[in-house]
Structure 1
Amino acid sequence: MALVAALLVAYPTAAAAADDRFNGLMETDHVKMTVDRSEEVARLSRGVLPELRLVDYQRAPYCREAAGMWVKGLDDGTCAPGADLAQTAVQCEVGDTLVMPMWMRTRVTPASPWGPWDDIDAGGCGVDLLPVLTEADFRLLPLPAPTFTLQPDRGWVLINIETIVSTDPTPVTLRTELLGYGITVEATPTRWTYDFGDGHTLTTRSPGHPYPNHDVFHEYENPGTTTITLNAEWTGRYQIDGSPIWRDINGTANTTTTSPPFTVEERTSRLVADLCTDRPKPPDC
């Protein structure tokens, strides 16, 4: 996927993973977070009246003053007169937008003066602020059972003769909602596992094709009654309303279907004196 890179200007900031220990608005330690985590704590902070807040958050650029000091810029994305603007060093997908760094300041009590601004994330991409559709979310979606085609489909098949199976690989589109965001999900079956009911299974990435171009089949070895169970493995991607970016789902989901029972028969040929289609049917048929 094509990427667009912003101009890199060196500035002092640590690239650290999200600190899950930062779980309250009263936290005053200077910690580093991922963009989505810092946005989460900032959103929680906005639920407190401004005059009562002990922690304040703001997104603003890095700016270099004439003395060479890197400081917080203005929340409109600009710097004070005489200061240079440093863009983030993040690469975003084409169509996405850059997000400015997050800054935090604290005070001991609502009556205390605010402390200095500290950067807690170095900025990122707009897509990083959106919720992530997880594997668990994907598996909760109403994915359809796989279609199933059996040849021959007459209620019985012969031993030692190819029983042909195939399915439909067409992707499906679903709609869901996550944290208030509307989401379009495109799910695609990519791998299928057949259980032929006689102790044999077959896993394939081919959906199969009908006779005579068939490539997925099984030969039964013994007569009896059986069913075939088909398990489809789905991969997916999703797009959040308002964002041009499609994101892959990290994980898979599965759906299953089972055929009606059918018999596996052994038949032999022999010469007869008359046509077996005659009525009444000849006794040697």
Structure 2
Amino acid sequence: MLSAGLVATAMRRLEWRVPQLTVQPPGGATLVNLPTIVFAGGAQTQTLTTTLLTQAVTIEARPVSYAWDFGDGARLVTAKPGRPYPDLDVAHRYPRPGRFQVALATSFVGRFRAGDGPWRPIPGQLVLASTPQPLRVVEARPQLRGE
């Protein structure tokens, strides 16, 4: 019989789609004190099938939390993946200029079933890290120009 621990180990070894971290405004730069929007694209429930102990096993991974690291010491954990502009579901204001790495780790909970059997929970969580995004934060400097 398959143990939940064996399935948890198999779950960590499978190749899951990692949610894509997007930072807005696009282009890798933002302004000091401007809301910089982040969101996880493709963050959805995924299902994979594998074979364990000669049995076909279906494993389902459902995203449950998103840990954002803005690279300037600020961190945030949310239950939602955020949304693109104009929504400000997940946003951060950088208080000073600099170069930062924005990172995202998405946590998934899992369940499994062997063949057509009942679904059973998988202990622990699967954490998938997205590719960090470099971000340059600059100050806007007003300039008057004569004609």
Asked if Structure 1 and Structure 2 have the same fold, meaning a TM-score greater than 0.5 normalized by the shorter chain, the answer is yes
- Structure 2 CA distance for aligned equivalents of residues 262 and 242 of structure 1: 47
The answer (yes or no) to whether the contact 2:45–2:63 under 8 Å persists in 1 is yes
User: CA shift at 1:208, angstroms?
Assistant: 0.4
Which residue does 2:121 correspond to in 1? 248
Are positions 1:165 and 2:38 aligned together? yes
Are positions 1:174 and 2:39 aligned together? no
The residue type equivalent to 2:72 in the other structure is D
Which residue does 2:22 correspond to in 1? 149
Which residue does 2:65 correspond to in 1? 191
The residue type equivalent to 1:161 in the other structure is L
- Structure (1 or 2) with the larger CA radius of gyration: 1
User: CA shift at 1:172, angstroms?
Assistant: 1.2
1:21-68 Cα offsets, whole Å, 9 max, x none, are xxxxxxxxxxxxxxxxxxxxxxxxxxxxxxxxxxxxxxxxxxxxxxxx
1:184-232 Cα offsets, whole Å, 9 max, x none, are 1111111010111111111111110112222101111111111111001
Which residue does 2:4 correspond to in 1? 133
Unmatched segments (≥5 aa) in structure 1: 1-129, 275-285
The answer (yes or no) to whether the contact 2:98–2:136 under 8 Å persists in 1 is yes
- Structure 1 CA distance for aligned equivalents of residues 87 and 17 of structure 2: 26
Which residue does 2:132 correspond to in 1? 259
Q: Percent identity?
A: 35
The RMSD of aligned alpha carbons is 1.5
Which residue does 1:218 correspond to in 2? 92
Aligned length: 144
TM-score (norm 1): 0.48
- Structure 2 CA distance for aligned equivalents of residues 242 and 220 of structure 1: 50
TM-score (norm 2): 0.89
1:123-168 Cα offsets, whole Å, 9 max, x none, are xxxxxxx412323332222223221111101121111111100113
Q: Which has the higher contact order (CA 8 A, sep 6+)?
A: 2
- Structure 2 CA distance for aligned equivalents of residues 234 and 212 of structure 1: 27
User: CA shift at 1:269, angstroms?
Assistant: 2.0
The answer (yes or no) to whether the contact 1:139–1:252 under 8 Å persists in 2 is no
The answer (yes or no) to whether the contact 1:229–1:257 under 8 Å persists in 2 is yes
- Structure 1 CA distance for aligned equivalents of residues 115 and 125 of structure 2: 22
Are positions 1:205 and 2:79 aligned together? yes
1:87-133 Cα offsets, whole Å, 9 max, x none, are xxxxxxxxxxxxxxxxxxxxxxxxxxxxxxxxxxxxxxxxxxx4123
The within-5 A match list for 1:17-166 is: 130-134=1-5, 135-166=8-39
What secondary structure, in the 3-state scheme, does the structure 2 residue paired with 1:148 have? strand
**Runs of at least 4 residues off by over 6 Å:** none
